[in-house]
Structure 1
């Protein structure tokens, strides 16, 4: 397989219909709804009867080059009555459409009584400034946007919230950590640790960085941003990049959110390729105030995208319930529900759990064994074996066919099919379990530990956990990359890997298959071509896969 398997989109939000959104906004301004679908026309009519809609320019943080405030392209939904009311600020996703992405949902919030300001992040669309990737200037922009909205709510503000999807979600968390006026946050398809999103287990996420660059092809990147992205793609200045990312990571400022007990609602996808779910889970677990995490089938922003354009959507419904609960003081019931709501692959069952730790009720170890034709997943440890994999050649085991679009296929019930028998044992290590006697309910984070050795100090492998049907076709359950950046050549070392969290039902009669290969177009590897990785299990430290069950 080639890098075509990870082909990059030119937009991260292919379901957004720019023409339809612009027609909606034009109707908000003019009142002419003749070109809208009946549901959208009714929303416009209701909004115009209650409030005024105005495109505005918000003075943001000063441009470092000119010293003048960067003017942020924005839109204001404003009530003019005498009653104090809650307000919501919505920083845009990573798209040229900017605030336009939120036009339908911002109108829905405004119709319920909120004053709303949606703005395009600096460097995108018609906003001034340069893209800083949620840097200090973006945080200041968020604070100034809140200032702008409060000043235009002369009747008084009862509470203030931030809501964002993707890029806007990270900015929303960071503003809430720095601005004590923020009372609640909604963060969809977000990140907690940006460094881990770029370097997972010290493995570069080259496909996600390329996707971000392609999606921002019309944006104005700051010199620092362009340099950091180039460093990731060219495998240099790792420590400087991680320091840059730490300043842009909500996890760095979790203490501030904990101190004020800021309520935060998260929504995420199990097969997220831009911001893998485990780093968001760590952010979620670091908070001690009111919190909620919706986990869904799909990839980045896919689960919530139908809602952003106004269609019925569980995640956006819960976002409304969250802000109504914490900003309007309504008892929406969401406060008494569990912290975790997870959608199970592939039956789509929704499971409510009180906490993340309650998702996993017990853990089961299966042990990796050796064999000339491949290994197995067994009940008892086996040591002294070695399985070799030739480096530099890809296999049918890969993360996905493409960022974003594979996630939409999953939501539609068409998950990628893997030819399990077509994975060459010459270029991958493969361990297969026995057919399941009953449904195996995987819930949580699988953990892998095994011995690995290479002829070079640097080495990479990617571990995939597959569900294989009796006909030999497989579906991916979860995966994770692993890279050793330095070590003694030929000396075995223990590789410990947390695979990405999952909620997956393996049907009776199906088998688990663990694959470790040396190439995936989603990642930048450290292997030399035509080398060899040797996987094994020592007497002192038997190799195992720990399965989270629930």
Structure 2
């Protein structure tokens, strides 16, 4: 339980002040999307006039209009709220599969789906894309994939079925980001749904709020900023503000649990619903490990594609209408499970990982098969990562001071630099060893293929109640420039002062090639702006390695 006393030093955000701040900080989770170009594409779908469109977009409009009728719609959702949407509908009475697309977390509503929904229509589907309640032109208030959102999904499906001229054969839900969570939850509760595509998704929404007992304040702030023009329900507003302020975090986690597909996985497994996930290794909004836990709990047909980048980045070019392997796989997944297409996707294995930074694509039959063996490196005196343990040493870090080691310079946007081949360089020589503990391994004799989920066990003494640290695993070149492999935070909010705290945590999963001659470096500091900080200013954390429970990092190798 997180007590108010444990979080007394955290700032609070009065509702009226937060609303004013949020409105002034409009932010898009889809910075690469051109809303004007998408609106012109939709206008061409309505009128047939493709003047000004790029040739590829004009061809898509012509192909779709040749087989389907496009129109904007209003759908009666739960509680009578009208939901704004768009319908691609074939004429003729032959049997046909259908797809429902709940919108992402954006003021653009359903518009980001315009191109891909058109592609689906040209492939023979009837499609209805809609703006989730509280966003864009839809009425109601944002419930964050709550019961009303789930009911909305079923109402939208009713609307689509009623407007399909012939029999509906099979039904799919496809969503990106926010729409992906709603899609999974609707599939868990509506037995009509036959397959799901969930892009940049979550399994456990609570872990977007708090990871290893550490509040992920930058992620929550970003979600609020991205919903700056949406109409949040009072409960949603209160939950987000409470997470930021450290009030009733356990209540927020219970609220998030109802909205987490992981809590409803039994319903999906009972019907063996096929689910396709895509995710980014350096995802900052929904950390990759929680999605992997959801993936591993599924027992039906499943696949996950893990890519370089951050939230929504790997599939972004597809939303803009450009070739994109994630969307290509999504279409193949739906074609196989909704149309019975023998396209080979069922034989390709459950996991496809894109390796940093060479971008090689590695298929694997299952997630456990990604890791072939584990190398253990111990934290020892003198700042080394060694093959054997060493007890009796201690190294202290000063709290409250930023270091060059950070999760990301900008949430979401830093991921686009990674996609462009420009990952953030970390000047490891500038890391002050008084405010960060650093351990470095010997140079790699050959390329080290990190594949899977690294694990860190470390013991430290905190002089004060409440403590936080963030651990970063870096790949360091001979010139001292580092690149982030993975990271994880940890907070202890209950131990009495001056007691030893044992942290045993998973770092975020990765697929990373450490080149020959490079070194792995573990950096632990006590502050990162991405996370809430439970440390008292100028306090110290003293890391050590007891003989009975040595400190180490386990490296998964493939």
Structure 1 length-normalised TM: 0.97
Question: 1:42 aligned to 2:59?
Answer: yes
Q: Which moved more, 1:158-167 or 1:147-156?
A: 147-156
Aligned ranges 1:102-501 → 2 under 5 Å: 102-371=113-382, 375-501=383-509
Say if 1:202 and 1:482, in contact at 8 Å, map to a contact too.
yes
Q: Distance in 2 between matches of 1:248 and 1:332?
A: 34
User: Is residue 2:108 matched to residue 1:100?
Assistant: no
Shift of 1:102: 0.3
Give, in angstroms, the shift of residue 456 of structure 1. 1.5
Quick check: 2:90–2:165 contact (8 Å CA) kept in 1? no
Gaps of 5+ in 2: 1-24
Answering whether residue 550 of structure 2 is matched by residue 542 of structure 1, we say yes
Number of the residue aligned with 1:516: 524
Contact 1:9 1:403 in 2 (8 A): no
> What is the deviation of 1:82?
1.4
Secondary structure of the structure 1 residue equivalent to 2:141:
coil
> What's the secondary structure of 1:278's corresponding residue?
helix
3-state SS, counterpart of residue 42 of structure 1: helix
8 A Cα contact 1:478 1:499, kept in partner: yes
Q: Distance in 2 between matches of 1:229 and 1:151?
A: 37
Note the alpha carbon deviations across 1:435-484, whole angstroms, 9 max, x for none. Answer: 11110000000000011111122100000000000000000000000000
Correspondent of 1:33 among 39, 44, 50: 50
Q: Which residue of 2 aligns with 1:5?
A: none
Name the CA distance, whole Å, in 1 between partners of 2:76 and 2:61: 28
| Cα distance between partner residues in 1 of 2:504 and 2:431 | 23
Judge conservation of contact 2:92–2:165 (CA < 8 Å) in 1. Answer: no
Partner of 1:65: none
Deviations 1:361-381 (A, max 9, x none): 00110000023xxx1100111
CA contact 2:436–2:524 (8 Å) conserved in 1: yes
**Structure 1 Cα separation of the partners of residues 119 and 320 of structure 2:** 11
| CA displacement, residues 190-217 of structure 1 (integer Å, 9 cap, x when unaligned) | 0000001110001011111111111110
Q: Deviations over 1:202-254 (max 9, x none)?
A: 10111111111111100000000000000011011011101000000000000
- 1:48-90: CA deviation from partner (whole Å, max 9, x where unpaired): 111100100000000xxxxxx1100000000011101000000
Kindly state the Cα deviation for residue 405 of structure 1 after the two structures are TM-superposed.
1.1
Separation of aligned partners in 2, 1:240 and 1:456: 26
Q: Secondary structure at the match of 2:483?
A: strand
Asked if residue 21 in structure 1 is aligned to residue 38 in structure 2, the reply is yes
| Residue 525 in structure 1 maps to residue 533 in structure 2 | yes
SS of the residue aligned with 1:221? coil
**Would the aligned equivalents of 1:177 and 1:253 in 2 still touch at CA under 8 Å?**
yes
Secondary structure, counterpart of 2:183 in structure 1: helix
Name the CA distance, whole Å, in 2 between partners of 1:437 and 1:231.
49
Q: Is the CA contact 1:378–1:433 (under 8 Å) kept in the aligned structure 2?
A: yes
- For structure 1, the 5+ residue unaligned runs are 1-7, 63-68
SS at match of 1:493: strand
Give the alignment's Cα RMSD to 1 decimal: 0.9
Distance 1:117 1:493 in 2: 52
CA distance in 2, matches of 1:16, 1:167: 16
What is the rounded CA distance, in whole Å, between the counterparts of 1:416 and 1:60 in structure 2? 44
Is contact 1:12–1:94 with CA below 8 Å preserved after alignment? yes
2:516 corresponds to 1:505 = no
SS at structure 2 position matched to 1:20: helix
CA contact (8 A) 2:100 2:129 kept: yes
Q: What is the distance in 2 between the residues matched to 1:157 and 1:457?
A: 60
CA distance, structure 2, for counterparts of residue 184 and residue 452 of structure 1: 47
Give the 3-state SS of the residue equivalent to 1:352 in structure 2.
strand
Q: Secondary structure at the match of 1:98?
A: coil
- Residue 9 of structure 1 and its aligned partner are, at CA, apart by 6.9
Give the CA deviation at 1:292. 0.3
- Contact 1:269-1:300 at 8 Å conserved across structures: yes
Whether the 8 Å CA contact 1:9–1:211 is kept in 2: the answer is: no
Q: 1:30 Cα deviation (Å)?
A: 0.5
**1 CA distance for matches of 2:283 and 2:233?**
26
1:61 and 1:206, CA in 2 relative to 1: closer, same or farther beyond 3 A?
A: same
Q: 1: CA distance between counterparts of 2:446 and 2:347?
A: 33
CA distance in 2, matches of 1:109, 1:200: 37
